[in-house]
Amino acid sequence: MLDVAGLRVSFGAIEAVHGVSLRVRHGETHCLVGESGCGKSVTALAIMGLLARGARRRAERIGFDGTDLLALSDRGMGRLRGSRIGMIFQEPMTSLNPAYTVSSQLTEVYRRHRGGTRAAATERAAALLGRVGISAPGLRLGQFPHQLSGGLRQRVMIAMALMCDPDLLIADEPTTALDVTVQAGILRLLAALQAEMGLALLLITHDLGVVARVAHQVSVMYAGEVVESAPVAALFARPTHPYTQGLLASVPVPGKLRRGQPLDPIPGSVPRIPPDFVGCGFRERCRFAMPACAVAVPLRERAPGHSYLCQLTP
C-alpha cells in the first residue's frame, strides 16, 4: 500500500530524517515508535508532502498503491490527500480552524473529493461523528472547535480523515496531547475503525503498550533512521538492535506492557546528526559500539519481515 525507501528530509544544515524506509501493507497497522525528536512527524509529513517551506525532501521511492508520489504534482497530491490518504495530527487543540463550524470543516473535504449536495455531505458527517463515538452529532455539527474538549476535537479530526473512506490513515501521536483517561478511548476507536474499514494504518506513537496491543508491524526509529522493523511478536520476542533492546528492557515487566509507559530508556539524548554523518547514529550511546560502527552500517535481515540496521549479528 505504502512503500517508502531512502527518505531524507533536511532543514537547512540539519538532516532530520536520513534514509527512512517503510512498508505498510493493505489492512495492516504499522506502528512507528521512537523517542521525541527522532523524526517521526517529519517522516509522516514528508510522505504527505506537507513539509514546511524550507524543508527539502529526497527519496529513492515513495509509492502509494502503485502511484509514485514523488512524481506527483502538488495538485495531483491534493487529489489523494483527504480522499485516499487521511491524516490525524498530534495537536487536536489547534488543528481545527477556529472560524468554522465542525459541520463546515467535515463537509468541505467530502464535497471537494466526492462532490454531491451539502445535505448528503452533512448526512455523512453526522453518521461518521456517531461512528467515532460522539453523542448528539447533530448538536456538535453546529458547534465551533473552541466549544469542544480536546478528546472531542480529536474524534472530529478522525471523522474528518475518514470522510472519504481512505485506504491509508496516518495518525501522528493522536493521543499525546490528551488526558490519560481519553487516550484509551481514542486508541480503541482507531483500532476498531482499522479492522472494520480494512484501513492501512500508520500509527506513530511513544507508547509501547499501544504497540503491543494494536500493531501488526513495528518500525523503531532512532535519530532520523529506522533501526529495526519487525512483526510485532518477533520484535517483542527477539529485539535485535541494541536500541530496541534498551527500549524494551526499560519496560518493567516484559510481555505485560502498561499503557502510558514513556519511552526514554537509555542514558543520553538523541544527537543532532549532521548531513555528512556516516556510520551508526546510536554508537555514542551503545554498549556494543565498535570501531566499525563509525564506518558503515549494514541492513541485516533476521527473518522475513524482520530487518535491522547494525554491525552485530544475532
Q: Is 99 in the site for another protein (CB under 8 A)?
A: yes
Residues 171-210 within binding reach of ligand ATP (CB under 6 A): 173
The residue to which cell 551503545 is assigned? 286
Is residue 159 a contact partner of residue 132, using CB atoms and an 8 Å limit? Answer: yes
Site size for ligand ATP (CB under 6 A): 13
Q: Is 11 in the site for ligand ATP (CB under 6 A)?
A: yes
Q: Which positions ≥6 away from 198 have C-beta within 8 Å?
A: 26, 27
Among 1, 7, 16, 177, binds ligand ATP (CB under 6 A): 16
Q: Is 41 in the site for Mg ion (CB under 5 A)?
A: yes
Residues 57-96 within binding reach of ligand ATP (CB under 6 A): 90
CA angle 181, 182, 188 (to 5 degrees): 110
- For the chain, strand residue ranges (E) read 2-11, 14-24, 29-33, 55-58, 61-64, 67-68, 85-88, 168-172, 200-205, 217-222, 225-231, 299-303, 306-309
Q: Is 247 in the site for ligand ATP (CB under 6 A)?
A: no
The residue to which cell 525528536 is assigned? 37
Q: How far is the CB of 50 from another protein (least distance, A)?
A: 5
Residue 279's region, left for phi above 0, alpha for psi from -120 to 50, else beta, is left
In terms of Cβ atoms closer than 10 Å to its own Cβ (0-12, 13-18, 19+), residue 265 is: middle
Among 132, 134, 152, 157, binds another protein (CB under 8 A): 157
Among 4, 31, 32, 80, binds another protein (CB under 8 A): 80
162 binds, among ligand ATP, another protein, Mg ion, none (CB under 5 to 8 A by kind): none
Question: Using CA atoms, how far apart are residues 235 and 59, in angstroms rounded to an integer?
Answer: 26
160 binds, among ligand ATP, another protein, Mg ion, none (CB under 5 to 8 A by kind): another protein
Q: Is 168 in the site for another protein (CB under 8 A)?
A: no
Q: Is 39 in the site for ligand ATP (CB under 6 A)?
A: yes
Q: Is 160 in the site for another protein (CB under 8 A)?
A: yes
38 binds, among ligand ATP, Mg ion, another protein, none (CB under 5 to 8 A by kind): ligand ATP
Q: Residue 217: beta bridge partners?
A: 30, 231
Q: Which residues of 217-243 are buried (b: 16+ CB within 10 A; e: fewer)?
A: bbbbbbbbbbbbbbbbebbbeebbbbb
DSSP 3-state percent helix, strand, coil across the chain (nearest 5): 35, 25, 40
Choices 37-45, 117-125, 187-195, 243-251; region in contact with Mg ion by CB under 5 A = 37-45
Question: Using CA atoms, how far apart are residues 259 and 240, in angstroms rounded to an integer?
Answer: 23
Choices 39-47, 238-246, 264-272, 277-285; region in contact with Mg ion by CB under 5 A = 39-47
H/E segment holding residue 54: none
**Closest residue by beta carbon to Mg ion:** 41
Nearer to another protein, 97 or 269 (CB): 97
Nearer to ligand ATP, 38 or 109 (CB): 38
Q: Which three cell numbers stand for residue 254?
A: 516484559
Q: How far is the CB of 171 from another protein (least distance, A)?
A: 12
Q: What is the contact surface with another protein in residues (CB under 8 A)?
A: 48, 50, 52, 77-83, 86-87, 89, 91, 94-100, 108-109, 112-113, 144, 146-147, 157, 160-161
Q: What is the contact surface with Mg ion in residues (CB under 5 A)?
A: 41
